[in-house]
Structure 1
Amino acid sequence: MDAIYPTSNLFLSASLIISFFILPTAAAAPNSQLSSGQPLVDGATLISSDGIFELGFFSPGSSTNRYVGIWYHSFSAAAVLWVANRDSPLLDTLGSLTIARDGNLVILNGHKAVVWSSKVASLPSNETIAELLDTGNLVLNNSDATVWQSFDNPGDTYLPGMKVGLDLVTNVNQVFTSWRSNDDPAPGNFTLGIAPDQSTQFFIWEGDKPRWRSGRWNGQVFLGIQNMVTTYIDGFKLSDFQREKKLYFYYTRSNISHRYILMPDGVDRHLIWANNTNNWQQLWAQPNTQCEIYNRCGNNATCTDSTDGKSPTCSCLKGFESDNYGKAIGRCMRRKPLQCETNNGSTAGNSDRFYLIKGMKLPDLSYWDLDPTNDTQCKEACMKNCSCKAYSYQAGIGCLTWGRELVDIHMFSSGGNDFYLRLAGSEFGTNTMLSDHLL
C-alpha cells in the first residue's frame, strides 16, 4: 500500500496526526511478562525485551477513562497502537490486568469484575504467561503454545508482522477499525480489510458501504493506487490463497517504526518515525482526493481530479450518455445497444468492437478469467461472450473481464492501466480519432 507523492504535505506534525495521551508516570515493571498471581496494576507497565514497546493503562486525549493499551516506549509514547478494552473503559485508576483462574488474560475493575477477556478455552492458569514481544504483539502462551495474540485481534493500527485478510473456510474477515475519535478508542465508523469477493483488493468501508479501494494486487503493486512504485511496497506479500484457503496480506519490514493507522475520519495513513526530527513522517494516505472516494461519479462514468483542488470532473464513458440532458451527470446509459444483444453481431461491418481507454484505475467488480494467457486470448474470450462488456490483461494477474455496471473509475494524471470497452460498431463510424483506438 506504500506510495510516495511529491506534495508539500508529506510531513505532518505529531500534533496533527495523533492527540496527546495521559500516560503513567510510575516506574516500569522490570520485565515483559505477566504470570498468574502477578497482576499489572494501573501505573505499572510491561516493556518488551528490546525496549521498543510498552503496555499499561492510559487515558486518550481529554478523556479520563482508563484503557489497557500498547504504545512505543522508546520514541513515541503518544502513539497508542492497540487497545484491549476499546468499548469497556474503566472509570477510575483501580483496574488491573491479570491472568484469571481459567487461564484467560482479563482486565478487572476496582470491584474485581471482568470488563475484558481474551476469551480462550479454559486453560491451567499456572501454565499461562502473557508476554509483550519485540514486535509489539501481546501473546498469551500456555505450555509454550500461543493460544491468543493481539495481532489476531487488531484495532486501528497495522504493524510489521501483522496480517489482514479473509479465511476462505470460515469466512472470518480480519479487519482494522478506526477509533470513534481521538478521545475515544471505541470502534468507529470505518473499517479496512480485504474484499470478501477474493479480488485481492484492500477496501475501506464506512459502515457497510465502500469508501475506497486499492485495486487488485499484481504481485508488486496495487493497480488502483496512482504512481505506486515497487521499491516502497517491499513489506507486503499475498498468501497462496488458492492452496492455503486463507487470503491474507502479510506485512514485514526491518524498521519497526513503520505503521498504518486508520484515522477516525476514514483516511488510512502510512507513517514512519523520523529520529532526526522526533516527529512522524507521512509516506502515504488514502483516500487523498475526491476521485479516490469510491464511485464518486457513479456507474459507467469517469472521475478526473481538478488541478485546483476543486470539484472533480465527471464524464460518461465513451458510448454512454447522461439521462439528465446536461444539467448534471445523472445516470450514464449506453447510447447504442451492443450488436451481440440485438442480432448476434451479424450486421455486416458493424459488429461490436473494443475502444481503448488509457491511464485508468480499472473498475471494480471484475472477473478473473484463468484460461487466457495473453492479451489476444483475453480479447477473444471477451468478444465470444456477449455478457462481457470490457476486458484488461494485466501482468501478474492475467485476464480481467467485466459483465456488470462499470463502477469506481478514476482517470489518473499519470500511469494507470489500459482498459478495453466493448461498444457497438456503429459508435465508431468514420471518426478517425475513434479509429485510432479501434481494436
Structure 2
Amino acid sequence: MKYLPINNEVFTVNRRNFVSRLKPCSLAIFNSNDEFPRSGDQAFLFKQNPDFFYLTGIDQEQSILLLFPECPNPLYKEVLFLRQTNEHIAVWEGHKYTIDEAKAASGIQTIYWLSEFDTILHSIINYAENIYINTNENDRYAHTVPYRDIRMLETLRSKYPLHKYERAALIMRDLRVVKSSIEVELTKKACQITRDAFLRVLKFVKPGVAEYEIEAEISHEFLRQRATGNAYSPIIASGKNAIVLHYVDNNAVCKDGEVILFDFGAEYANYNADMSRSVPVNGRFTKRQRDVYNAVLRVMRAATKMIVSGTVLNEYQEEVGKLMTDELIGLGLLDKHDVAKQDAKMPLYKKYFMHGTSHHLGLDVHDFASRYKAFEAGNILTCEPGIYIPAEGLGIRIENNILITESGNIDLMADIPVEADEIEEIMNG
C-alpha cells in the first residue's frame, strides 16, 4: 500500500460496535473483494471491499473475517484468515501480509491461513443460531455479478440449511455513515491531495492543452503524495463536454473561450475526496460565464448551510431546488410565470440542474447510507449544485465536502480556491 500505516484502534472500535448490534448467539462472516480478470493473463488492480476494510484495515485479496462474540471456544471469537504466501507468490506478486503485520494492521490477535477456514468454521458454526452474511445493499449498486459473499451464502445454506441467515448490511449502513476522528483525518488527507492537484492544474491549463494532459497532471500529483489514485474516473470536460454529467473520455483539446468542468478526487487509504470546479481555459471568465458561475456558487453556499444534524435529504433537495429556480430566473433561463404554473412533481429547474445536490462520502464515493435517515454528526456529504446549458455549450458545477459536527458543519475543502477572482488570479499569476 502506498499510504502510511493507520492506527488499528479505528478498526478495533468498528468491530466492537458491529458485534454489539448482533442478535444473541450470532456468527458473522465478511469476505474481501474478488479479483477480476482484465485480460488473458492479468487481473484489474485490486480494490478492497469497503466493509471488510472498515472492520479489519486489511488491504489484500482472498481474506476472510469471522466474528463470533459468544463462541464457546474463546480462541475463535475474532479470527482473520489470510492467503498464505510462498516463494512462488513472493517472486511473481510480491509481498503479502505476515501474521505479525496483519495483527499490527487490524488489531486482531487470532490469525490463520485461509486453508484452515473450512475446518475452523465447521467446528464452531453449529454453536451459533444466526449467521450474518455481508451483502452489497448500496442502492446505487445493481447486482449482476455473484460476488464472493453471495457465493459463500449459497454454500453455507447448502451445508447448514437450518441456521437463520441475517443481513450484516443493516448494521453496516448505520455504522459506516458516522465517521470516527481517524476516518475524518484520512478524508482530510484525500481532500488536501485533491487541493494540491487542483492548484497544479490551474497553473497548467491554457488554450491548446488536451483534457488528457490535464488528467495526467492530476494523476501525477495524486501518486506523488501517496494516494492510491483517483477516487473515481476523473471528469475533465471542456466546453460542450461539460453538459455530459459523467463525461470521462477526456480526449478533447481545450479551446480559447471555453470553460472546463473538473470533477475529480484523490483516494487515500481507501477514503475518498470528491471535488468539482469550473475554470476558464484562457484564465478569464466572460461576463456570462461568470454570472452562471456565481449563481452556482451562491446556491452551493446556501445549500452548505443546510447540511446539519436533523436535515432530511428529500426536504433539503426541495429547498435547494427553490434556490436554483430563483437563480435560473435571474439568468434568463426560466420564466417566473412558467415557474408559477409548473408541475411540482416535475419542477422546471431540473432542465438545467438534473442531479442531486448531495450524497454521503467515505469508503465509497457514494457512501453506504440511508437516503431516508436525517443527517447526523459525523456524516460527511458532498455539496455539488450545477447549471448545464446545452444551447450555450456551458456547464458549471462546484462541489465541496462537508463534515457535520455537533456544533454545525465544517467545509473540508474550504482552502481550495473557489471564488472566480481567486481562480483567475492563480491562472494568471
**Does TM-score exceed 0.5, indicating one fold?**
no
TM-score by length of 1: 0.22
Which structure carries more strand by proportion? Answer: 1
Which structure carries more helix by proportion? Answer: 2
Which structure: larger Rg?
Answer: 1
